[in-house]
Amino acid sequence: FILATEACNGYMPLDRGPKPGEYSRAENYAWDIIKDLQNWAVGWTDWNLGLDLTGGPNWAKNMVDAPILLNTTSGAEMYKQPMYYYMAHFSRFVTPGSRRVKSLQEGGGGLGGLEGSVESVAFVTAQNQTVVVVLSTMDRSQECSIQWTDVNGSDRSVQLTLEARSLVTLMLPITEYGIEDGAGEGDDGVQEQVKSGGVSKRLGKVLIQTD
């Protein structure tokens, strides 16, 4: 299996060390996790879950950032950074036994890079619930329509606003396909669709459209 490791922020010479409360680093994490999971990784691990306020300790003086910063002087404070909460979208909702839904992307529209893009990854949990994580690094909000077919074969939909520069996790009601039905990697009948700026993806019985 493929396991993504050695991830961190704050390692570049001109952008080194902790930046408390920095959301761009959370976006970096979410984008990296989504892209890794889209490409066969079965998991994703951070280099350091917690560091002190200087980005250490580190014997090589390689001071970097972490999802949790600890005040080792007072010993009484810890700070959960945006990176921590962005990682939680995956660790809390993509539960053990989940299978990633095959995704198919068509067209361009700026979905290839981090800035000004919308990216998503979808899973079917062991309980046959569909979980879709959507990251927007757009500087404007977008109206979204999510459509799916429930266990009774009824078409359902919900509308929401995808806020500018946001991460959203959608937990859709149990679908009529799932792991017991053979859905998962390699199943052409279960694909993902996200449409943004003329780009579309398809997710079996679920459709996400953004303006």
**Positions marked active-site:** 6
- Answer for the pair 167, 89: CB distance below 8 angstroms, yes or no: yes
CA distance 138 to 124: 27
Contact partners, residue 79, CB within 8 Å, separation at least 6: 20, 68, 69, 70, 71
* CA terminus-to-terminus distance, the chain: 37
What tokens appear for 8 in the block? 């961190």
Q: What is the largest CA-CA distance in the chain?
A: 59
Per the DSSP assignment, residues forming a β-bridge with 70 are: 52, 78
